[in-house]
Structures are given as C-alpha cells and as structure tokens.
Structure 1
Amino acid sequence: MSAGSLRILMVSPVPTDPPDAGNRVRIMTLAQGLIQAGHEVHFAYIPLEPYDLVAMQSRYGSTRVHVLNAVPPRPGPLARMARKLGRFLNIERAFMWRLDDWYSAAANAELAALHAQHRYDVVFAEYVFASKALEALPPDCLRVLDTHDCFGLRHRAYLKAGMRPQWFSTSLEEEERGFRRADIVLAIQASEARDFATRVAGSSTRVLQVGHLIDMPVSSNPSARQAAVFVGSGNPINTTGARHFIDNVLPIVRRAKPGFELLLAGAVSNEIEAQPGIVRLGFVPQLADAFDAAMIAINPVRAGTGINIKLLDAMAAGMPIVTTRSGARGLDAYFERAFCVADDDDAQSFADSILRLLDDAALRRQFAEAARAAAQEWNSEQVAALATALASHVPQAAKGEKKILMPSI
C-alpha cells in the first residue's frame, strides 16, 4: 500500500454482485469510492443472499474477498409460527427482532483471524444488525457503521402504508445499542443523521451523513419514444408503487396519449402482469440502456425510508423525472428543481407532470440538465463527508503528508 492509504475491511450481509438492487449498488459504489481513493478494500461477506463470487473477486481481487462460514441463524418452526401468530394478532413485538438475531457470533472469530492476518485500519459494518462485527476488531481500528436506513420501529412505516412489514425491524433501544458499537455512524440522509445524533448524544459515537455515492455515467440520450421508464427491484414497495401507477396514473396519460408506454426494468417487471401499454424489459445489465429507451423516468413508490437510490441513478443519467414525494425522500433540496414531484396519492398531478414533459422538449432538457447538475452536487457532498470520516484515522506513517482520502467521483 502507498503511504497514507488505509487497509479497510467491509463486513456485509448483502453482496455487491450482481448489483441488481439499490442496497447492493450502495455498498458497491461506497467500496469503489474507497478503492479509487487508493485504499485497500477487503470484502467479508456474510452469506445471507445469493451472490456472484467471480464478479466480486474481479471487483476486489481474488485474495480480498472472504466468504464467511458462519451462517446467520434461522428461527425454528415453532418460533416462526409464534411470530406469525403474533403478527396476525397485531402484537408489536412480533414485528421486531433483537439486534443480533440475524448475526452469528461465530463470525467474529473469523473476522478476528482476518485482522490478525491483514491488520486492518478501518472496519465498516453494513447494517445495524451486523454491528456486532465491529466488536471483532481491536479498539485501535476505526469502527464505522453504515446504517443504510433507520431500523428502529421500521415496521410501523409499512403498517401505516397498509403493507406487510419487510426485512428487519427492531426497537429504538436495540438500534441505539448497535450505534454505540461504532466510532462513526453513517446516516444516508439528513433527517436520519439528525435523529441518530440526538439518540447517541453523550456517547463517543459520531454521526455523519454520507448518502449514496453515485457512479456518474455519460449523460443519457433519452428516446423520442413517448414512454416512461421505472427501474426497480422486485420488492413490495416497488411492486405496490408500480401497480398504483398502472391502475391510477397510466389510464389518465393514455387517454391523452394513446401510444404512451410504461417500461419496467429490473426485477419489478417480473411482478407485473402483461397488459396494454406496459413493456417489461426485465434485468438490464446497463442502466443506460433502460434510460435511453424512454423519454422520461418515473419513480412511483409510495412508502419507504432512506435515500431512494433509483432516483439518484436517474438524476445522474440526466433524465427528466417525475416522482412521488415518498420517492424523493431525503432529497428535499432538489424538489421541483431537479425533478417534478407529485403527492403520493395525487394521480392527476403525477399524470399532468408527465404530459407536460412529453409535450415540451425545452422543459425536458431543462430538467435533465438540472438533474445531472444536482447529482454531481450531491456526489461532491457525500465524498467530502466520507473523507472527513476517514481523516481521523490516517496511519501514523502518513501523518504530515498531504493525502487525498476520497476522490471526486
């Protein structure tokens, strides 16, 4: 390693490859940013989901990908039945997990062995439910928790939206216990950073906002085809949003523009039935191909927490965009400047914004340029925040040297 660079271990229950979901892309771009800054990144994968080992070895180097043997624990049939019954009876604790329920303590022995071999300067744990990994390395190693989202009482947001809670939710107290395992907690949006900072006040843990680092592609070349593209994974939030758009917004647009089409890209297309006006593109290896196929991009999701990565990707591509308010969460500073915003349940407003963009090439160009500029501005802010986090732990040999800890992306 060069003087001033850091040896970093990223511990994650989510793989970076294939990068076919927003959380995978978040971890991938964070790792890429660190590598581009000259740091040596090792990736320790806790096998929770299917993954592409060859692609990850190509990304990090064959000797820097470590698939752990410790498998996350799974509840037995009686525990699953009890949780299912509790949810049916709307007992709140049935929707929550203890902080370490999804983490195998045996993983820490493997991580400690990796540290003994490689002597890491910094360890990142992805997600609060993997925060116990931070305890595997000694105190002189900078411990960073990349939260991705607020998981304290997260299930309530789903229930409020009339949806079945997904993935992980825990109590506020358990989440805060995870925060305090870290020297630095990364929040993905400003409101979460403020909330987390209040909740760890009085401890040695610092909170920084570092949102999604966008891979800035060449600007898209939107098609003359009167179509809108929605890129998303097959999770319930994306599926519910797409169905709401199809049932409530699409008919309004097609009454005015009978040839208008909705293009669905990514796994969300597998969840939607074939019908007139809908084109299911399926998995698209290059996002640019999806964006280039349509005149505008949309984000119709009506729930969720954290930053909406699919919106940032569309902004980076320089697409004219119409989004719901929930779809633009965490990006309030760019409302109506970098994209058009409609209230979640206002189908008419969403349709009107689409029709306005379809009919006005100059307006499309204005929003496309503003979206691209906003994405570049966003990236600069996130890179600066991450550099601040790492600046506190430059190796002693590099003290006094001028070192660019993070590049502009």
Structure 2
Amino acid sequence: MKYLIGTLLLLATLPAAPAFAQTACTPGTYAAPDGDFVVLVKSPAVAAPGLRYLFRDGRRGATTDTGVPLTCGTDDVAVGGKRWAPIAFRETQATFDSVGTKMTGVLIEPPGAPDAKRPLVVMVHGSERTSPIGGVYGYAMAAQGISVFVYDKRGTGGSDGEYTQNFELLGEDAANALGQARGMAAGRYGRAGFFGGSQGGWVAPLAATRTKADFVAIGFGLVASPIEEDREQMVSEVRGAGLGQDAEALVGRLSDATGKLLLSGFAEGYAELDAVRAEMAGQPWAAKIAGEHSGAIAHMSNDALRRVGRARFDNLELIWNYDALAALKKLEAPLLWVLAGEDREAPIETTRGALLGLAKTGKPVDVYLFPQTDHGMWEFTTDTSGERQVTRITDGYLKLLADWIKRDVRGTYGRAERLTPR
C-alpha cells in the first residue's frame, strides 16, 4: 500500500471515458426496491456536470462514460429501465477535539425511525490526503442500513494539524472519532466499531485497544510492519519476474540494509547497503526492483542519503517497525479481515498466516479472500507489458462488509473464499 496513496484517492483519480449526452445527474444515493443501490458523488477527475458512480456490486465509473449503466432523471435514476429513488440520509456535521487538534466529520444515518439496534461504524482512512467526506464509501455503507461517521484525518480537508502517518496518533484520532459518533447518535445505534482500509488496517485495530469497540472490520490491510511490507513487495516482484531463491535472498538483504537506515535516522546501514549494491550490480533485473522504498534508496548515493534521506523517506513519523500483531493480540472485539488475493501493494502471505494463527488461538477472527483482486479489492486486466488496469471493485466485497457488521452474513459474496471456520 503506497504510503501516500489510498483507495479513496484511487476512486477519485481514475480517468473518465468519452462523454455522451444525458440529463445532468444529481449527487446522491439511489436505491432499488430490492435494496440494490448506486452512489453518485462529485469527483475532481470527472468534468462537470459528470459524477463518479459506484454500485453495490462494485461496478464503477463516471456518468459521462460511454455505456454507463444508468440514466439520470431530475430526481431519480433509471437502471435497466426501472426507477431507483433517492435515499434521504440524515447528515449531521461535526467538529471534535483530538489530542488538542480540531477535527471535522459528518454522521450519516439511514432514513426512517430511530433504531437502537442499528450498527454504527467509524470509517478509518487509508494514507490518502484527500477528504473522505462526501466520498462513495460512507454512503455505500449507509445505504446498507448502517450509521456511518466519516472524518477528515488531521492535516487534510477541514481538519487542523499536520498530515502524519504516525499510527499511534492516528489511532487516538480514530478512538476520539468513535466517541464523537457515539455521542451524536445516542439512542439510535447498537453495536459500534471501526472499518479501516489499507493503512487503516494498522490504525483501526490500534484505536479499538484505546476505546470500547464492538467490532473491527479491515479491507486489504497488513499484519506486518512497513519495513516488512517493503520486503514482501520486493519478494513479490522477483517472484513475478520468475526469478529464484537467490534473488529473493538478495532483496531480503536489501530490505535489511534500508531498514537499518530508516530506523537509525539514516545514521547507520551504509556498509550493508554498499554490500548489497555490489551484489545487485551484475543483475540485469535489479534496476526494476522497487518495493515500497528500498529501490529508491538503493539508487541514491550515500552522500545524498546522508543529506536528504531522512527528509525524503522519513518525514511522516511512520513507525517503521510497528508491531501490528501485538495490537491484534490485545484486541478483544470481533475482527473481520478481507484479503485481496493478488495484492501487489500489500502482499498477503505474512498477513494471512498471522490472522489464521490468531484464529487458531481462539480469537474471534473471520478471514475472507477475494481471488484475482489487487489492492483496494480491485479486479483488473493485465496488458502485454504486464501492467494491470483496474476495472471494478470485486462483486460481493461491499455487501460482505455491511452484512458482517450487521451480524447477518449468509450465502455467498461474489468469489469470496472464507479462510476461517464458522
């Protein structure tokens, strides 16, 4: 998971296809009589008056795309020739304090009479710098009968403070967001907890150890440190290139060297890095190895790394050796973890093993895997150069999240495979 790229940002930046003429769409969430829905939101990547859309089954695009599967009316949309009516959510703006910083959020509640059994979920962001308020995920969850609190992470959107990737501080923010949401929805919710995607997989479980949470749901996160993530990405790269165990061992040593640099504030690790560089010099594939940070570090001179390495790679207070498994061992709330089977940003091998190990000890852990999906639960095609082009969020993912939070998991969810016993 690129530290500066999150799934919500990806949704906002996918290019729009050529436009065709139709009635301008109105932002909102529209539901079919059978509970299906589509979310329409403004996006900087879609020229006005176009909107980004997301269906419950994961189809996504822009209303200006050729062949878009909906037609906009003045106060509704038509899908397959049938009218889908707007959902009248109750949305309440909020500000709250977290570690001396003013944070901004919004509570989205489904329409209808107050329901003291309705789940309440706080959406814990990934690493994106864009505001999740007004984005598709919050409304997609609320359209499935869940109250949702969405907030801007510190230093982004309407929240004060400096942008950071310090999990400890972000965990405090998420815990305080849940307290704010509980106060706003008092008498109108039952279970309350967190959903975190990508980097939120580090933050949400930690937040649940800081405050009372009834559940934690994670999509495409990691049970590994950022240094381990870097190593696993490089191992995935050499395996994808069809290289052998010698190459895997070499990139492992590269990760050890760059990890030492990062953990020492770029004071130590140069001898180890030079040794690895010497080994890699004769390898034609070495120039293509990237990882999360190691490839870029290896291609900079030692003089440059001493001068600007810390400013370039270590300026966001990331906890490089963060012990994600320790936080999960402390967690008492039920945990859902959804893995992307072909995740290049957050390779799943270590994470899957850690989660299944927790389940064997009796922890309330449910693990699902969607095959042939990349980071963000994206289905994809692969071009002749090996590059992946994302197509849609995999069918069943959004519904699985909501049903699990509502304690109503039943039937199948697209191609999802349950890895833990019931």
TM-score range relative to shorter protein:
0.3 to 0.5
Give TM-score, length-normalised by structure 2.
0.34
- Normalized per residue, the structure richer in helix is 1
Give TM-score, length-normalised by structure 1.
0.35
